[in-house]
Chains A and B, each alone.
Chain A
């Protein structure tokens, strides 16, 4: 198994006729993703890359049986696209779009609460289950099927982490880029919960950044509820202090969210944190050994 998506996931591309949508649809098809159609309002009835295009998600779902979508729609319309996908009952919606207004996302997140749709992103590279499917813009060729789950806020750091694991002969069960926006669908915590339940995943690598409290919450969850080893990396140790948001930003953050306090909080949960980016693969092996697990299990091909 894997988390959230696999070879059976039937994918729609929202914004398939745009240049980004078209380019990445081709890449996803090459990787083996089961793309079943696209949606662009006003272009229903056309065909793109041999795939049918629909005016709305609802029409596309009725015709294709899609259960997931990936969104490459410009920021002004992307919130609408997420809402439309959720209303049409899709299980998984991956929003690549960067630059959606924050107040739009506040409402989107409330709309999704309690519903069946899982949103990944926005402003994210997407999700890949190596050897099976990818939804988004992650480069497939650096991934390798295997047993380690990867979750990250940053696109290129996801690639670095996956690349290091692959170079160590360690494959990945699923790699998820949850996105860099402050208001997002799926967070670190929910991804860890899914990896904990997933039989294929034996260990998890978490790549965080300064800002917010998601990494700290995830670390506490790992300490209290996870049986699988976890290692982490936090980017931004020497980032300049953030652009200040009046006094109010300082009041609500209470001085937390910088790299130092994040790393301390994670380490205090007994989770190894790599000092520099080149050592994330090593940190994972350290966590695996500390858990008494045979690291050879991570390199086995038969999963």
Chain B
């Protein structure tokens, strides 16, 4: 799960990690009030969306005085930001962060995440902080310092010393850096994070070390034990269809194609999309119905697929393991009657009781194209989506 920058900054504050601070505002008036309370002359107004690349898209503005904040907030709030991470349709800005502008002497990069290859947590740091960090990693990998931290032995002084030395930090700066790393590591474990990224972590002209921008992701599997974090979820940032799918325990990702897919298991769902594409079609989505698909769940899945106006054909591909194909076929028939499908439906069932499942579909009197062979059924779906004749 992702959260907003202003929420992440508040968590850093709680963990004792120095940061640029600021206040969140949902309206221009609130933004001006926030600036008034913060005091000072120069501010930065930052769009709060769950995607990076805001600065280049015009979502971060420097503002002089309260009138500057008023103007900047007016320009950013309600604007649709398109960045490389938002997708082509972009994201509407519903809230901004107002923070004091800092005089920056240097920008560093610092992150902590789980490294699936080694099974450790990994600290990464660089003197080349800022928006070009991925370029730095690609072209000058030596500029990215890494320290593996064992999950059982934990964070030790030498990890921090190695990073600080690599960053060229000494004396007070090194001590400030140690406090930042310790705070991050503690927060990472306390809140079951999957990533905390300070980019940049800045040294100000006054010599202070502050987190200026932070990205914080959390392990969805662990949200059950962090009600405070779960409460930070912002549904406005999520695709409405994905939210609805999640309510029915369906895993759904919309795509651009014309064949609506309903499959059990993530691996088979991906392989189904792949075979559709290999045969010249385009999948409209990824949809994993999981184990045990009731008529209710199938109907919810059909409705979800049909809400996508690009869908010209629905392809159901189920391998019944524990899920019995006859039970699933009954669910499909019931759901198809309930939803009354305006597009052709191709069903491929294999595995437990598939023959009985095929009978149920055949006897339903509904226009369902049943084909047990994977390749043949995928070809049928592709041809029907292109307006081909029903077999």
Hey, which bits of chain A sit against chain B, CB under 8 A?
23-24, 27, 75-76, 99-104, 106-107, 109-111, 125, 137-139, 141-142, 152-157, 159-160, 163, 180, 182-183, 207, 209-210, 212-213, 233, 235-240, 244-252, 254-255, 259, 275-278
Q: Which of A107, A111, A244 has the most CB of B within 10 A?
A: A244
Q: Flag if B151 contacts A163 (CB, 8 Å).
A: no
A27 to B321, CA, bound (A): 12
A24 to B292, CA, bound (A): 14
For A154, give its contact among B224, B225, B267 (CB under 8 Å): B267
Q: Which residues of chain A come closer than 8 Å to B321, judged between CB atoms?
A: 125, 137-139, 155-156, 159
Hey, which bits of chain B sit against chain A, CB under 8 A?
52, 85, 109, 111, 113-117, 119-122, 124, 133-134, 137-138, 144, 150-152, 189, 192, 194-195, 197, 199, 215, 217, 219, 221-222, 224-225, 253, 255, 263-268, 270-275, 277-279, 283, 286, 319-322, 350-352, 373-375, 378
Q: Flag if B271 contacts A157 (CB, 8 Å).
A: yes
- Asked, given contacts A101-B192, A163-B319, A251-B134, whether A106 binds B119 with beta carbons under 8 Å apart, the answer is yes
Q: Flag if B119 contacts A249 (CB, 8 Å).
A: no
The smallest beta-carbon distance between A274 and chain B, in angstroms, is 10
- Asked, given contacts A139-B322, A163-B350, whether A212 binds B267 with beta carbons under 8 Å apart, the answer is no
Q: Flag if B225 contacts A76 (CB, 8 Å).
A: yes
Q: Which residues of chain B come closer than 8 Å to A212, judged between CB atoms?
A: 116-117
- Asked, given contacts A106-B114, A240-B255, whether A277 binds B374 with beta carbons under 8 Å apart, the answer is yes
A50 to B283, CA, bound (A): 49
A247 to B85, CA, bound (A): 11
Q: Flag if A248 contacts B351 (CB, 8 Å).
A: no
Q: Which residues of chain B come closer than 8 Å to A109, judged between CB atoms?
A: 119, 151
Q: Flag if B194 contacts A238 (CB, 8 Å).
A: no
Q: Which of A106, A139, A248 has the most CB of B within 10 A?
A: A248
The smallest beta-carbon distance between A120 and chain B, in angstroms, is 16
A191 to B352, CA, bound (A): 27
Q: Flag if B215 contacts A237 (CB, 8 Å).
A: no
A254 to B134, CA, bound (A): 9
Q: Which residues of chain B come closer than 8 Å to A249, judged between CB atoms?
A: 113, 195
Q: Flag if A277 contacts B224 (CB, 8 Å).
A: no
Q: Flag if B194 contacts A102 (CB, 8 Å).
A: yes
Q: Which residues of chain B come closer than 8 Å to A75, judged between CB atoms?
A: 221, 224
- Asked, given contacts A102-B219, A276-B275, whether A252 binds B115 with beta carbons under 8 Å apart, the answer is yes
Q: Flag if A278 contacts B265 (CB, 8 Å).
A: no
A209 to B268, CA, bound (A): 10
Q: Flag if B122 contacts A252 (CB, 8 Å).
A: yes
For B270, give its contact among A76, A182, A183, A239 (CB under 8 Å): A239
Q: Which residues of chain B come closer than 8 Å to A104, judged between CB atoms?
A: 222
A106 to B151, CA, bound (A): 6
Q: Flag if B134 contacts A235 (CB, 8 Å).
A: no
Q: Flag if B270 contacts A137 (CB, 8 Å).
A: no
For A235, give its contact among B109, B111, B264, B274 (CB under 8 Å): B274
A111 to B150, CA, bound (A): 11
- Asked, given contacts A156-B319, A237-B277, whether A103 binds B189 with beta carbons under 8 Å apart, the answer is yes
Q: Which residues of chain B come closer than 8 Å to A103, judged between CB atoms?
A: 114, 151, 189, 192, 219, 222
Q: Flag if B274 contacts A139 (CB, 8 Å).
A: no
- Chain B residue nearest to A255 (CB atoms) is B138
The smallest beta-carbon distance between B380 and chain A, in angstroms, is 13
Q: Flag if A275 contacts B114 (CB, 8 Å).
A: no
Q: Flag if A239 contacts B268 (CB, 8 Å).
A: no
The smallest beta-carbon distance between A190 and chain B, in angstroms, is 14
The smallest beta-carbon distance between A197 and chain B, in angstroms, is 24
7 A-B contacts, Cβ less than 8 Å apart?
A: A139-B321, A154-B268, A235-B271, A239-B273, A246-B113, A276-B279, A278-B373
Q: Flag if A101 contacts B219 (CB, 8 Å).
A: yes
Known: A240-B255, A246-B113, A254-B138. 10 other contacts (CB 8 A): A103-B222, A104-B222, A138-B321, A159-B319, A160-B350, A163-B319, A180-B267, A183-B119, A238-B277, A252-B115
Q: Flag if A247 contacts B133 (CB, 8 Å).
A: yes
Q: Flag if A139 contacts B352 (CB, 8 Å).
A: yes
Q: Which residues of chain B come closer than 8 Å to A275, judged between CB atoms?
A: 278
Q: Flag if B271 contacts A277 (CB, 8 Å).
A: yes
Q: Which residues of chain B come closer than 8 Å to A138, judged between CB atoms?
A: 321
The smallest beta-carbon distance between B229 and chain A, in angstroms, is 12
A193 to B378, CA, bound (A): 35
Q: Flag if A102 contacts B114 (CB, 8 Å).
A: yes
Q: Flag if A156 contacts B264 (CB, 8 Å).
A: yes
Q: Which residues of chain B come closer than 8 Å to A248, judged between CB atoms?
A: 111, 113, 124, 195, 197
The smallest beta-carbon distance between A77 and chain B, in angstroms, is 11
- Chain A residue nearest to B320 (CB atoms) is A139
For A246, give its contact among B117, B150, B217, B322 (CB under 8 Å): B217
Q: Flag if B267 contacts A235 (CB, 8 Å).
A: yes
A186 to B145, CA, bound (A): 30
- Asked, given contacts A139-B322, A238-B277, whether A102 binds B265 with beta carbons under 8 Å apart, the answer is no
- Asked, given contacts A106-B119, A213-B117, A246-B217, whether A154 binds B266 with beta carbons under 8 Å apart, the answer is yes
A27 to B265, CA, bound (A): 20
Q: Flag if B265 contacts A154 (CB, 8 Å).
A: yes
The smallest beta-carbon distance between B259 and chain A, in angstroms, is 12
Q: Which residues of chain A come closer than 8 Å to B350, judged between CB atoms?
A: 160, 163
A111 to B153, CA, bound (A): 11
Q: Which residues of chain A come closer than 8 Å to B199, judged between CB atoms?
A: 246-247
- The list of the 3 closest CB pairs from A to B, nearest first, reads A154-B267, A156-B265, A101-B222
- Chain B residue nearest to A207 (CB atoms) is B267
Q: Flag if A110 contacts B267 (CB, 8 Å).
A: no
Q: Flag if A157 contacts B374 (CB, 8 Å).
A: no
A236 to B271, CA, bound (A): 6
- Chain B residue nearest to A245 (CB atoms) is B195
A26 to B340, CA, bound (A): 38
The smallest beta-carbon distance between B348 and chain A, in angstroms, is 11
For A183, give its contact among B114, B255, B278 (CB under 8 Å): B114
A106 to B286, CA, bound (A): 29
Q: Flag if B134 contacts A247 (CB, 8 Å).
A: yes
The smallest beta-carbon distance between A48 and chain B, in angstroms, is 19
Q: Which residues of chain A come closer than 8 Å to B192, judged between CB atoms?
A: 101-103
Q: Which residues of chain A come closer than 8 Å to B197, judged between CB atoms?
A: 246-248
- Chain A residue nearest to B199 (CB atoms) is A247
